[in-house]
Amino acid sequence: MIELHHGRAFVNGVSLHYVEAGAGALVVLLHGFPDFWYSWRFQLPALAAAGFRALAPDLRGYNLSDKPAGIDQYRLDRLAQDIVGLIRMVGAQRATLVGHDWGGVVAWKVAHDAPEAVTHLVILNAPHPASFRQALRTFSQVRRSWYLFFFQLPWLPEAVIRAWDYAIVRRVLRGASDRQATSSADDLQAYTTALSQPGALTAALNYYRAAFRSFWREPMQVTSPITVPTLVIWGERDPYLGLRLLKNLDRWVPDLRIQRIPDAGHWVHIQAREKVTPLIIEFLTQGNPAERIPRPGG
């Protein structure tokens, strides 16, 4: 049985909690909203068994990681610097990044700003920032992204999400949004416990607030091509992010492979894990994705 190990790394002014398994080439798994490291509970042991060192942090503001006050603390450039620092702090110079939702947006940014730190990039239902900026000019994507605007309000989004013991979060994670369950009762309790950590919910919403403030001035600061080999895996039944976001993606990502999963939604790595996890492993084993760094004590 693969063991999971908990650790902490102090990077970029914050302490990040992470969970890891295995030894070998480093693969860093970045979760989205409203997740935490637990979103990768299926991929961590599978990657470890395949000979990788898999590491999933709680991103800044989430669960057991630090939650600095203020919207400015959650700018995309800070989030990307956290991940570059984390790679260095665990003893590596380069890593594969696997990102879902907000974790994917952060991964795009790291690959753009610090390509020397990234060997392979795997993106799961997370729009390239420049592509998303274009898509938001269409009614269909604005309709799907209504919550982005709602989250700009002070205090009200927090109140709505906390209401009735995080009922809206439970509903989404039960699969009400795309008719596919992602979580058991125990899973739901783990998610609500993570969101209930002091300051966690406001920190998570501050990702959206920080992004919105600069969105129309700069396409989230990812404009030049992503040069690392990239696999995009997309659940076609995503109610939040339309397939239009894949159109002409090779304009910004020339070394690109796209794998669409027709029977999965937004949480494609959970809903279609029996397809997604082997796809990730296959992509990473086509070459040597990163230097081999053993886990301390492992």
Q: What is the pLDDT of residue 72?
A: 94
> What is the 8-class DSSP label of residue 38?
G
Residue matched to tokens 């730190």: 117
Q: What is the pLDDT of residue 52?
A: 98
| Structural domain contains residue 87 | yes
| Structural domain contains residue 137 | yes
Q: What is the pLDDT of residue 166?
A: 96
| Structural domain contains residue 294 | no
Q: Tell me the pLDDT of the chain (298 aa) as tens digits.
A: 889 999 999 999 999 999 999 999 999 999 999 999 999 999 999 999 999 999 999 999 999 999 999 999 999 999 999 999 999 999 999 999 999 999 999 999 999 999 999 999 999 999 998 888 877 778 788 888 899 899 999 999 999 999 999 999 999 888 745 656 667 889 999 999 999 999 999 999 999 999 988 765 554 556 689 999 999 999 999 999 999 999 989 999 999 999 999 999 999 999 999 999 999 999 999 854 434 444 544 4
Give the residue numbers marked as catalytic: 101, 208, 266
Range of the domain at 143: 5-288
Q: What is the pLDDT of residue 287?
A: 53
Q: Is 155 left (phi over 0), alpha (psi -120 to 50) or beta?
A: left
| Structural domain contains residue 47 | yes
The CATH number given to whatever domain includes residue 113 is 3.40.50.1820
Q: What is the pLDDT of residue 216?
A: 57
> What is the 8-class DSSP label of residue 287?
S
Q: What is the pTM of this model?
A: 0.93
Q: Return the HEC string of 193-238.
A: HHHCCCCHHHHHHHHHHHHHHHCCCCCCCCCCCCCCCEEEEEECCC
The structural domain count of the chain equals 1
Closest CA to 259 of 124, 130, 145, 77: 124
| Structural domain contains residue 220 | yes
| Structural domain contains residue 60 | yes
| Structural domain contains residue 15 | yes
Q: What is the pLDDT of residue 5?
A: 97
